[in-house]
Structure 1
Amino acid sequence: MLSKALLRLGGGAARHPWRVIAAWLAAAALAVLAAVAFGGRTADSMTAPGLDSRRAAELIERAGTGQEGMTAHVVVTPLADGATFFDDDGARSALTRLRAEVGRLPHVLGTSDPAGALDAGGDTAVRGGLVSADGRIAVVRVQYPDQSRLSAEDLDALVDLGARLRAELPLRVEMGGNLFYAFSDPDGGVSELIGLLAAAAILFLAFGSLVAAALPIGMAVFGLTVGVATMTVLAGVTDVPAFAPVLGSMVGLGVGIDYALFVLARHREYLARGLGPREAAGRAVATAGRPVVFAGGTVVVSILGMAVADVPFMTVGGFAVSIVVLIMVLASVTLLPAFLGAAGPRLGRAGRIARALGAGRPGRSGRRRDTEPAAGWRRWIGHVSRHPVPYAVGAAALLLTATLPVLGLRVGLPDDGSLPPGRTERRAYDLVAEGFGPGTNGPLVIAADPTGDPGVLDRLAGAVAADPGIASVAPTHVDRATGIATLVVFPTTGPQDEATADTIDRLRTEVLPTAIGHGPARAHVGGAAASLSDVGRRTSGRLPVFVAAVLTMSFLLLMLVFRSVLVPLKAVLLNLLSIGAAYGVMVAVFQWGWGGALIGLEATVPIVSFIPMFLFAILFGLSMDYEVFILSRVREEYLRTGDNGTAIVEGVSRTARTITSAALIMVAVFLSFAVAEDPSAKMFGLGLATAILIDSTVVRMVLVPATMTLLGRTNWWLPKWLDRMLPGGPAGADDTGARAVPAERRVRPGTRPSSGGPSAR
């Protein structure tokens, strides 16, 4: 039924191409206009209900101290060698002026006053954490309201002021803080352009035709425009995390071009059989479009499964990315056949490059002759199928070895110290760490409600200051209206260090309960470092449930599609191997530093807490893409020939060149994001590229034919009682009207197939 519906949809789009293209142009224009009129900016809310850091944030909001808003800091040091703020009047006067001008910026609620503290004495300034012990470095901390009341113009105003003051004052001026993180423009635009150029080059080499190469790119650009604009509109309704547009662009480009490539390859195959362009487009959507729909559905189901983590920003981010994937699926079965119908018969003519790579020419039978690359894939799959045990064992051992580093995976938050040295945030981070210690870059905020126990604040301050993981404690601030107190605490270690997470745990489980006792007072540990630590623990705890849910849903979906029990079970296990290997590579690169310089990684960093779950969702869905595409063709060949060996060799070899080309495009797109400055984008890019590379080579071209050969005809085993319960008919059958192989030409079970594959087992 699905194939027939897709046949009508694709055929209709091909017969009326300009109407469909006009409809997509209108949809893109409306989406962009809606984004401009109603869209919002991304906002990072790295917390979740029920976490201790969230309870701390709620107390701070009740107190109205302003500490719940955005912050920035301006770090300065005298340009003159040996000059300090203790003894250089010119440097101190410049510091006074800088603080005053920063305080006059729009939306600034207040600033710290290192110059005023110096007037009260150098010791006062040092104890307050405003001037370093040697007097060389001073920090002006800037408090803004919450992000909803700010925009990129506030960051621009601060940066412009810094540029002007650098030229006028005898000070080196650097800046940082979460205002930069929230409103700095991501460098995803350059990455998207690099990815598109790489994809265009690969498509041209694959098809030898500028028209054929342009169609998938054009479809992906249309879909990405609508998807990202829709995501912007969603940001006007709820908090969409900052990584969602970058991740949506990355995944959208990859799957969009991939899906278009599979439909286009099948379209050219039908053209070679002598079908007209419009009929070929309809048949292509009906056959290749079916696995596109199921593969896209698997990606969406996997991503939406992150809701089990109960972390709102991850749920919203996953929903936003899934919108882009759904739009790409819709474009593949409507816009692409319209392009194919408009292009006409030109797509059936391969250029010199494509013929050299194995596109071949149609023979008298209407099928393309085997040229060397196509025959090479058939020989390789046949070779693997004749020696399934050594290949299965060797490939599995290789992937398991690559997975071993996962045992040392550590989640955390890469801080500004991982940014390139040319960024002012990195230079400010280094100055603060040099002058005040690394923990100053990631302060903790303890929020306390001393109701019924007025002496608890002194006990809290003393107990926290005595902890070995705490370098200093700023003076306690008490809100007169609510009585809620806040203590800003500076650890001895940096925000991404594992020791900082240990300090947070110790404060919560030992220090605060001991200081509070059994009284009515309560205290919670908050701050950015505490929030990310809490989110990391929650996602790690929910990861097994999430993995089990995704595996179960994917297994059931594949069982419905392929009417088999062992095929989906094998697919699930092989996908886990490729994802585990990708995780292992990420740990080796980002935590151990192996090859980090190749992607511009400045220092080793922990894996961002929410990335493992996100990567699993996306990678499992993308891995299922290739599994569905290959198995659909294998199932189709099996139904036509009745021979398992022939079906494996023919099905895998016929899709091998298209799959490897599609995978190469995905790898190129993802690697273009791996060279971005943001460590999170690097992790997403490298993790996705590694998994797709492994999946399309070791898994699909070695493990799949080897394991399917070992399973033999039991690949398609399905209990009769279960077959009766499942809706729909057998998948893989060509119900579009394409010519099937006559019964007398089918390879009989137990005979040796002519392709060189093994006999059916």
Structure 2
Amino acid sequence: MSTYLFRLGRWAFRHRRAVLGAWLAVAVLAVALATASGGKTNDTFTIPGTESQRTTDLLKRTLPALAGGQTQVVFAVPAAMRVTEPGPRAGIDASLARIRTVPQVATVSDPYAANGVSPDGQVALVTVQWTGQPGEVKDSSLDALKQAVTPARSAGVQVEYSGSVYPGWRVVPSELPELIGLVVAFVILMITFGALVAAGMPILTAVLGVVVSLMGITALASVINIASASTTVAIMLGLSCGIDYGLFILFRHRNQVLQGMALDQSVGLAVGTAGGSVVFAALTVIIALSGMSVVGIPFLTVMGLSAAAAVAVALLIALTLLPALLGFAGEKITAFVSTGLRPGHHERVAKTSAAESPTTGGARWARFVVRHRVPAAATGVALLLVLAIPALSIQLGLPSGASKPTSDTQRRAYDLISTHFGPGYNGPLLLVTEGPATPAAVQRLTGALATQPDVAAASSLASNNQVAIVRLVPKSGPNDTATADLVHGLRDHRAALEAVVGAPVLIGGTTASNIDVSQKLADALPVFLAVVVGLAFVLLTLAFRTILVPIKSIIGFLLSVAAAFGAQVAMFQWGWGRHLFNIVPTETISFLPLIMLAIIFGLSSDYEVFVVSRIKEDFTATDDARGAVQRGTARAARVVTAAALIMFSIFVAFMFTSDPTIKAIGFSFAAGVFLDAFVVRLTVVPAVMAIVGARIWYHPRWFARYVPDPDLEGTRLEEQLRAADESA
């Protein structure tokens, strides 16, 4: 593989104008397709195989007016007033009349005729049913809804919104996180290279890759449903992986040029050696992300594949466009900011790679870890286990209005409903009969449900000659475990309900759907972990031609991801980061563990490949196992540190948003990357390898016959180049 990559890198270097032109054409084409298609991401989710999804599908066929998105409009007056008084009521009635004329509105409930006034008379609750799913409700319709309540506001009534769709529900993307991440990445690269050209090149290539990926995703969004979170994850990984992959290749090339190697030879060798590590690292990330497809939830499948595509584009750009740009840069890549020199041969020798110097911080740390290998390994493992303790109490769920800041209308609506009606009114359940039911039978069903200890209210919502619908309000909130227990209890005792109504019964609604998603994700985690770890084990075994290194890598990943889970639970679920991150303590987002497993596993394998490949390269040359650990770690430490800090900074930058979901994702990724890079890969891994010694490279005899050698370290490639130089 290293030989092919060498040829690819040198070809791109020599044909740099064609390569640059091709990538610019791809970018222009992607932008044109995205613009022409008019594609937009949306949050219309389907969860095949769940009872809540079957309920939604049944309603679409039989009562489509009740199968679309729903908005709860909350009208509230001060404590000294009542919504039934002439002034407020006139404003509310006028608003309801105007809401009924809003495009896409199917039905609007009358709070004065449907028990929609709170017992204290301060709040009126109105349900607006839309003709389409949440993602299909146009912004213009939501704007019209917001304008329609003007009479109520003029009458001194407070108006707030909640539900599956409401004015302001779509998160407006902000470029601030990306800009912060890029600025920090540039600073880190300047410190690493001390050169403007070298610092800017990985950022330039990564940005182009993100543009291509993002525009491609936008174009696809015109024909398939793509969740808005998919673009966020794709941008996170596209930027971080793109910068990191460029950094690894550029670092190798620059050091070689500083030592006197010809430019075209250096570019080819950098792509053939560091590029090989980049290929295996990227393939591991792509496999992990694509593995999200095994869960069987379409929006997560699309999210994983979108992010995998962004990483694939980053890989292709690192292997082709970066060598081309290095051709344009020439020896400017070695110009240091401190002197502004264009070093000649003697200056290159004087500025030999800092990574090779025994006085660097990385070299000192490597010596420390190898010298104190047992306590270093024990301390690192103990730290990760302690951080992982909170993960034992992880509670999965999807965000509700309770997780929003008080400045958000959904949070204010949630609080008003909870205070004046009860928390269960924020997430009612729907019981739907799969067949007609008589009014008397429905009445018996509502009576039986109302006697349940965890039910606040039950009422008939609608019926026709195909189905009957009962609206059930729990006493607990939509994310409380008591509500999940109620849903499971109703389903477990379904036969008794069906005997009362005389027809099959399904339990659905938004709250039941969230419960089903969390359960399905929890059930899928072991399968997903087995598939991803199994495939990655095969890939790492092929890369290093040994069994112990992949096993060590997987154990290290499990420790780092468990610690990241624990940190996330402590900060966001327990509320330790309430003031630090300006968040409301809430459940762990149900899909977060799965995408954390995929992404952190992939990124941890990145650092494993980069560190261990340098160790193996040294061991192959010297046959000194413990010394190879020290020297290889020293050579890798500087670039891995820079790469990890860049990833960490980009993930942290996404916490500068108001969306609690994005904050939790950014924090979790940042914690996972930081712990895995600095505690596991640069501390525990070299310590364990120093303890085990040469036995870490053990492999069965049949490996040499049946397992191909990809020459990840480029040993055979360098021998071929030396032989070619000698014969010349």
Band of TM-score, shorter chain: over 0.9
Tell me whether 1:513 sits opposite 2:495 in the alignment: yes
The answer to whether 1:59 aligns with 2:41 is: no
The reply to whether residue 99 of structure 1 matches residue 86 of structure 2 is: no
Q: Which of 678, 681, 692 does residue 711 from structure 1 map onto?
A: 692
The equivalent residue for 1:230 is 216
Equivalent-residue separation in structure 2 for 1:740 and 1:100 (angstroms): 81
8 Å contact kept, 2:459–2:470: yes
Q: Distance in 2 between matches of 1:228 and 1:729?
A: 32
**What CA distance in whole angstroms lies between the structure 2 residues aligned with 1:367 and 1:527?**
65
Q: CA deviation at 1:32?
A: 1.5
CA distance in 2, matches of 1:617, 1:306: 7
Cα distance, 1:176 vs structure 2: 2.4
CA change 1:165–1:98 in 2 (3 A) is same
Partner of 2:726: none
Compute the displacement of 1:694 (Å): 0.6
Aligned-pair distance for 1:455?
Answer: 5.3
Deviations 1:559-580 (A, max 9, x none): 1011111111111111111011
Out of 706, 712, 716, which is 1:725 matched to? 706
TM value normalised by structure 2? 0.94
Q: CA contact under 8 A between 1:411 and 1:536: conserved in structure 2?
A: yes
Match of 2:234 in 1: 248
Counterpart CA distance in 2 for 1:188 and 1:720 is 55
Amino acid aligned to 2:538: L
2:21 counterpart residue number: 22
How big is the shift at 1:365? 8.4
Using the alignment, how far apart are the partners of 2:61 and 2:349 within structure 1?
80
Residue in 2 that maps onto 1:756: none
Which residue identity is paired with 1:389?
Answer: V
Give 1:260's aligned amino acid.
G
**Offset of 1:595 from its aligned partner?**
2.1
3-state SS in 2 of match to 1:106: coil
Counterpart residue number, 1:757: none
CA 5–730 in structure 1, closer or farther in 2 if over 3 Å, else same = closer
Distance 2:169 2:501 in 1: 43
Distance 1:452 1:596, change over 3 A: closer
Work out whether residues 476 and 487 of structure 1, in 8 Å CA contact, stay in contact via their aligned partners in 2: yes
Deviation at 1:245, TM superposition (A): 0.9
Inter-partner Cα distance in structure 1 for 2:63 and 2:340: 66
Q: CA deviation at 1:29?
A: 1.4
Matched, 1:444 2:429: yes
Kept in 2: contact 1:174–1:425 (CA 8 A): yes
Show the counterpart of 1:628: 609
Quote the offset at 1:369 in angstroms. 6.0
Using the TM superposition, name which of 390-399 and 516-525 deviates more.
516-525
Aligned to 2:636: 655
Q: Offset of 1:689 from its aligned partner? A: 0.2
In structure 1, runs of 5+ residues without a counterpart are 118-124, 356-360, 743-761
2:411 pairs, out of 413, 426, 429, with: 426
The match for 1:571 among 553, 556, 563 is 553
Partner of 1:513, secondary structure, is helix
Aligned to 1:498: 481
Q: Is the 8 A contact 2:543 2:712 kept in 1?
A: yes
Alpha-carbon distance between aligned partners in 2 of 1:428 and 1:656, rounded to the nearest angstrom = 51
2:168 and 2:232 map into 1 onto residues whose CA distance is 14
Tell me how far apart the structure 2 counterparts of residues 578 and 336 of structure 1 sit (CA, whole Å): 31
Conservation of the 8 A alpha-carbon contact between 2:253 and 2:270: yes
1:350 is aligned to 2:336: yes
Give the distance between the partners of 1:139 and 1:195, measured in 2 at CA: 43
CA distance in 2, matches of 1:519, 1:648: 72
User: Alpha-carbon deviation of 1:304?
Assistant: 1.2
- 2:470 — aligned with what? 487
SS at match of 1:138: strand
Q: Offset of 1:411 from its aligned partner?
A: 0.4
Whether 1:582 and 2:571 are equivalent positions in the alignment is: no
| Alpha-carbon separation, structure 2, partners of 1:526 and 1:370 | 60
* Amino acid paired to 1:657: R
Query: Which whole-Å CA distance do the structure 1 matches of 2:21 and 2:115 have between them?
Result: 62
1:588-607 matches, cutoff 5 A = 588-601=570-583, 603-607=584-588
* Secondary structure of 1:489 counterpart: strand
Q: 1:758 maps to which residue?
A: none
| Cα distance, 1:18 vs structure 2 | 2.7
Quote the Cα distance in structure 1 between the aligned partners of 2:167 and 2:323: 42
Aligned partner of residue 737 in structure 1, secondary structure: helix
Indicate the SS of the match to 2:360. Answer: helix
1:681 matched to 2:662? The reply is yes
TM-score normalised over the length of structure 1? 0.90
Which residue number corresponds to residue 591 of structure 2?
Answer: 610
Quick check: 2:2–2:711 contact (8 Å CA) kept in 1? no
Cα deviation for residue 168 of structure 1 reads 3.4
Paired residues of 2:92 and 2:151 also in contact (CA < 8 A): no
Does the 8 Å contact 1:639/1:732 carry over to 2? no
Q: Deviations over 1:560-606 (max 9, x none)?
A: 011111111111111111011001111111111112321221x2111
Matched residue, 1:750: none
Higher mean Cα deviation, 732-741 or 683-692? 732-741
Amino acid at match of 1:641: T
My pick for the range that moved more, 547-556 or 727-736, is 727-736
From 138, 142, 164, the equivalent of 1:155 is 142
Q: Which amino acid aligns with 1:94?
A: G
Map of 1:82 onto structure 2: 80
- Which one of the candidate residues 433, 444, 457 is aligned to 1:472? 457
Q: Could you give the per-residue CA deviations for residues 97-154 of structure 1, whole angstroms, max 9, x where no partner exists?
A: 111222222221221122xx2xxxxxxx5xx342111111112221112236433333
Please state whether the residue corresponding to 1:109 is helix, strand or coil: strand
Pick closer, same or farther for the CA change 1:166–1:626 going to 2, 3 Å: farther
Displacement, 1:707? 0.5
Q: Which amino acid aligns with 1:665?
A: I
The superposition leaves residues 525-546 of structure 1 with CA deviations (integer Å, 9 ceiling, x where unpaired) of 1112111111111121121121
Give the C-alpha shift of residue 165 in structure 1.
5.0
- Structure-2 residue corresponding to 1:109: 106
Q: Which letter does structure 2 place at the counterpart of 1:191?
A: P
Equivalents in 1 of 2:712, 2:34: separation in Å? 40
Cα offsets for 1:614-668 (capped at 9, x unmatched):
1101110010000011111111111111211221111111110111111111111
Written as runs of structure 1 = structure 2, the 5 A alignment for 1:18-417 is 18-78=17-77, 82-86=80-84, 88-114=85-111, 117=112, 125=113, 128-147=114-133, 149-161=136-148, 164=150, 168-180=154-166, 184-352=170-338, 364=349, 367-368=352-353, 375-417=360-402
CA distance in structure 2 between the partners assigned to 1:632 and 1:706 by the alignment: 16
CA 1:545–1:683 in 2, change beyond 3 Å: closer, same or farther?
Answer: same
Describe the SS at the equivalent of 2:66: coil
Give me the whole-angstrom Cα distance separating, in 2, the residues matched to 1:323 and 1:433: 43
Match of 2:681 among 700, 704, 707: 700
Q: Which amino acid aligns with 1:35?
A: A
Q: Describe the superposition over 1:221-274 as per-residue Cα deviations: whole angstroms up to 9, x where unpaired.
A: 111111111112222222222211111111211111111111111121111121
Q: Give the distance between the partners of 2:421 and 2:340, measured in 1 at CA.
A: 62
The answer on whether the counterparts of 1:207 and 1:353 sit within 8 Å (CA) in structure 2 is: no
Aligned length: 719
Cα deviation code 1:62-121 (max 9, x no counterpart): 22242211122221223x6511122x211111001111222222221221122xx2xxxx
Q: Is the 8 A contact 2:397 2:479 kept in 1?
A: yes
Retained in 2: the 8 A contact 1:273–1:362? no
Counterpart CA distance in 2 for 1:236 and 1:385 is 55
1:274–1:569 distance in 2 versus 1, CA, 3 Å: same
Cα displacement string for residues 192-243 of structure 1 (whole angstroms, at most 9, x for unaligned residues): 2222222122222222222222211111111111111111222222222221
- Contact in 2 for aligned 1:47/1:531 (Cα 8 Å): no
How has the CA–CA distance of structure 1 residues 165 and 455 changed in structure 2, closer, same or farther, with 3 Å as cutoff? closer
- Which residue does the alignment assign to 1:748? none
In the other structure, the counterpart of 1:358 is: none
